[in-house]
């Protein structure tokens, strides 16, 4: 367990020293979300209708941008190979790296989402549903994304490829995440959506690190 | 009783000539079945009293949609076998199948659009089946671009195998999420589930075309796997 904590600590420290990387994908999120009212129409009713979808799509894209950082730097300086050789199981190392990635990319999006919700004219309860769904959904994005990041580590044009691999797999999270807000807006209960998001989170927590560890071994063999 | 050596043909060296001997037969069967199937489709099957002649595209559309899904499963099966047994041929088979599967997925979408315009009055609806077929095409494209981007062929096979397996776990989740999304967002503008009972000749035509597509897929995969063997292991191909 100590290696888990120390890798999280190390990745957080690295992220802190390269603050601009994490901040850029956060600003990317803010800018993409702000472009939609400009592109569509600033009608409050239209904006409220599309707020959850826009925020979710922007969160998907922002996570995708930050995924390149997950293994790339460690691959370049050889740390990743040391992690493969470590006595601790690789999937454990992977979970700690993914957790640190979520803390620096997913969690800031969740914390920022109420502000973006206000821009789209959402009420307090609606914002709570949206941010709650993002809180459950963004770790799934980091977990599934780690498989794609591991498969494309060290490849030319890896980032474009990563989008092709990962975005189709993000569809269930997008559907259920955005649908939670839709259900709330039409007066239905949001429990089933949150339950499914939770189920997706548990399933990806169990399976994704194994697939990522396998993919890392293949990429670095 | 002598044990059968199941792995004899798992080596490219012994599979190359076998594939070469089988390929023409599958190709011939595919041509023959297509000719008979298309004859049934265009001349024997009756005109649909609601849709007129435009329904006849289903003889291509439905078998193509079946193949698109089935080939992905077979591809993932080969991918899994390749990871478990570490056989070179399994990865080659998975990669030989992928372009055919992507082609059938595209064909199913395209013919579906051609059928949708006269029947539903629109080229595309965000129906659950259409959307999940489109996502299947994305999964094929992901597999093809990943394997194409990796220069080391063995690594490409194995990385593609992981992706194909992840995709196969996700396909049911994606399908049900799309079904749910669809029922939430729009009323059932189009329902394919309550299809009217088909005339027997229509069913026969469709089954013949499905068989023809099966044979074509096998022939195409065998031909492609022979090219892959020639490219990667010229010695295995040269000795026969």
Within a domain: residue B150? yes
The pLDDT, as a whole number, for residue B174 is: 82
| Residue B141 in contact with partner chain A when CB distance is under 8 A | yes
Average pLDDT value over all residues in chain A = 91
- The answer to whether B155 contacts A219, with C-beta atoms less than 8 Å apart, is yes
Interface A-B, measured as beta-carbon pairs within 8 A, has a size of 74
* Residue B190 pLDDT exceeds 50: no
Give the span between the Cα atoms of B54 and B56, in whole angstroms: 5
Q: What is the mean pLDDT of residues B122-135?
A: 83
- Other CB atoms closer than 10 Å to residue B194's CB: what's the count? 6
- For residue range A114-123, list pLDDT tens digits in order: 999 998 988 8
Within a domain: residue B60? yes
Closest CA to A19 of A56, A69, A62, A55: A69
The pLDDT, as a whole number, for residue A21 is: 87
Within a domain: residue B101? yes
Q: What is the mean pLDDT of residues B64-68?
A: 91
The pLDDT, as a whole number, for residue A92 is: 92
- For residue range B68-109, list pLDDT tens digits in order: 999 999 999 999 999 998 888 999 999 999 999 999 999 999
Residue segments in chain A with a per-residue pLDDT below the cut of 70: 1
Domain that holds residue B230: 18-238
> Rounded to the nearest 10 degrees, how much is the dihedral formed by the CA atoms of B60, B65, B69, B72?
50
The pLDDT, as a whole number, for residue A1 is: 64
Within a domain: residue B7? no
Does residue B120 contact residue B190 with C-beta atoms inside 8 Å? yes
- The answer to whether B162 contacts A164, with C-beta atoms less than 8 Å apart, is no
Within a domain: residue B12? no
Give the span between the Cα atoms of B179 and B98, in whole angstroms: 26
Q: How confident is the model at residue B52 (pLDDT cuts 50, 70, 90)?
A: confident
Place of tokens 């990962």: A166
Give the span between the Cα atoms of A151 and A146, in whole angstroms: 9
Q: How much of chain B, in percent, has pLDDT values that exceed 90?
A: 43
Contacts of A86 (CB under 8 A, 6+ apart): A3, A93
Average pLDDT value over all residues in chain B = 85
Nearest CA in chain B to A214: B162
* Residue B191 pLDDT exceeds 50: no
| Residue B102 in contact with partner chain A when CB distance is under 8 A | no
The pLDDT, as a whole number, for residue A141 is: 96
Which chain A residues contact residue B180 at CB under 8 A?
Answer: 175-176, 179
Q: How much of chain B, in percent, has pLDDT values that exceed 70?
A: 90
Closest CA to B91 of B103, B101, B83: B83
Does residue A211 contact residue B162 with C-beta atoms inside 8 Å? yes
The pLDDT, as a whole number, for residue B185 is: 56
Give the span between the Cα atoms of B194 and A54, in whole angstroms: 35
The pLDDT, as a whole number, for residue A174 is: 92
Q: How confident is the model at residue B216 (pLDDT cuts 50, 70, 90)?
A: very high
Nearest CA in chain A to B184: A179
Within a domain: residue B10? no
- Determine the distance in angstroms separating the CA of B181 from the nearest CA of chain A, rounded to an integer: 6
Q: What is the mean pLDDT of residues B160-185?
A: 83
- Determine the distance in angstroms separating the CA of A71 from the nearest CA of chain B, rounded to an integer: 16
Q: How confident is the model at residue B189 (pLDDT cuts 50, 70, 90)?
A: very low
The pLDDT, as a whole number, for residue B188 is: 41
Among residues 180-209 of chain B, which lie with CB inside 8 Å of chain A? 180-181, 184-185
**Domains: count for chain B:** 1
- For residue range B9-42, list pLDDT tens digits in order: 778 888 888 888 899 999 999 999 999 999 988 8
Which chain A residues contact residue B177 at CB under 8 A?
Answer: 171-172, 175-176
Nearest CA in chain B to A197: B177
- Determine the distance in angstroms separating the CA of A183 from the nearest CA of chain B, rounded to an integer: 8
Within a domain: residue B184? yes
The sign one gets for the Cα dihedral B132, B137, B138, B144 is positive
Within a domain: residue B159? yes
- Determine the distance in angstroms separating the CA of B238 from the nearest CA of chain A, rounded to an integer: 29
The pLDDT, as a whole number, for residue B177 is: 80
* Residue B1 pLDDT exceeds 50: no
- Determine the distance in angstroms separating the CA of B160 from the nearest CA of chain A, rounded to an integer: 9
The pLDDT, as a whole number, for residue B187 is: 45
Q: Which of the residues A144, A169, A201, A210 would you substitute to probe the B interface, choosing the one with the greatest number of B C-beta atoms within 10 Å?
A: A169
The pLDDT, as a whole number, for residue B3 is: 64
The pLDDT, as a whole number, for residue B117 is: 83
Place of tokens 């992840």: B166
């Amino acid at each position: 367990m100590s290696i888990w904590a120390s890798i999280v600590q190390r990745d957080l420290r690295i992220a802190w020293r390269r603050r601009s990387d994490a901040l850029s994908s956060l600003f990317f999120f803010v800018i993409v979300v702000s472009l939609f009212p400009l592109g569509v129409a600033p009608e409050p009713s239209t904006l409220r209708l599309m707020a959850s979808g826009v925020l979710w799509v922007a969160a998907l894209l922002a996570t995708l941008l930050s995924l390149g950082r997950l293994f790339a730097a460690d691959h370049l300086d050889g740390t990743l190979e040391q992690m493969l050789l470590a006595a601790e199981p690789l999937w454990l190392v992977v979970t700690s790296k993914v957790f640190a990635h979520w803390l620096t990319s997913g969690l800031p999006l969740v914390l920022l989402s109420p502000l973006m919700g206000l821009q789209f004219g959402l009420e307090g309860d609606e914002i709570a549903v949206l941010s709650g769904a993002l809180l459950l959904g963004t770790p799934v994005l980091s977990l599934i994304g780690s498989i794609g990041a591991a498969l494309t580590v060290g490849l030319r044009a890896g980032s474009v490829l990563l989008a092709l691999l990962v975005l189709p797999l993000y569809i269930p999270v997008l559907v259920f995440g955005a649908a939670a807000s839709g259900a709330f807006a039409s007066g239905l209960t949001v429990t089933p959506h949150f339950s499914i998001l939770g189920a997706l989170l548990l399933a990806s927590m169990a399976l994704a690190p194994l697939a990522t560890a396998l993919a890392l071994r293949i990429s670095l063999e | 009783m002598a044990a059968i050596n199941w792995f004899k043909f798992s080596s490219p060296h012994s599979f190359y000539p076998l594939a070469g001997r089988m390929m023409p037969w599958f190709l011939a069967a595919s041509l023959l079945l297509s000719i008979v199937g298309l004859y049934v489709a265009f001349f024997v099957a009756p005109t649909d009293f609601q849709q007129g002649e435009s329904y006849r595209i289903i003889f291509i559309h439905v078998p193509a949609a079946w193949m698109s899904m089935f080939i992905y499963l077979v591809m993932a099966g080969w991918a899994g076998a390749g990871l478990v047994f570490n056989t070179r041929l399994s990865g080659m088979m998975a990669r030989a199948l992928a372009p055919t599967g992507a082609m059938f997925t595209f064909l199913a979408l395209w013919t579906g659009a051609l059928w949708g315009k006269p029947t539903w009055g629109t080229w595309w609806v965000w129906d659950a089946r259409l959307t999940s077929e489109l996502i299947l095409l994305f999964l094929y494209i992901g597999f093809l671009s990943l394997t194409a981007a990796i220069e080391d062929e063995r690594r490409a096979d194995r990385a593609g195998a992981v992706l194909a397996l992840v995709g196969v776990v996700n396909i049911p989740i994606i399908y049900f999420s799309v079904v749910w999304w669809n029922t939430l967002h729009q009323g059932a503008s189009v329902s394919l589930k309550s299809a009217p009972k088909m005339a027997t000749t229509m069913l026969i035509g469709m089954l013949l075309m499905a068989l023809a597509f099966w044979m074509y897929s096998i022939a195409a995969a065998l031909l492609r796997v022979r090219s892959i063997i020639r490219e990667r292991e010229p010695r295995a191909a040269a000795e026969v």
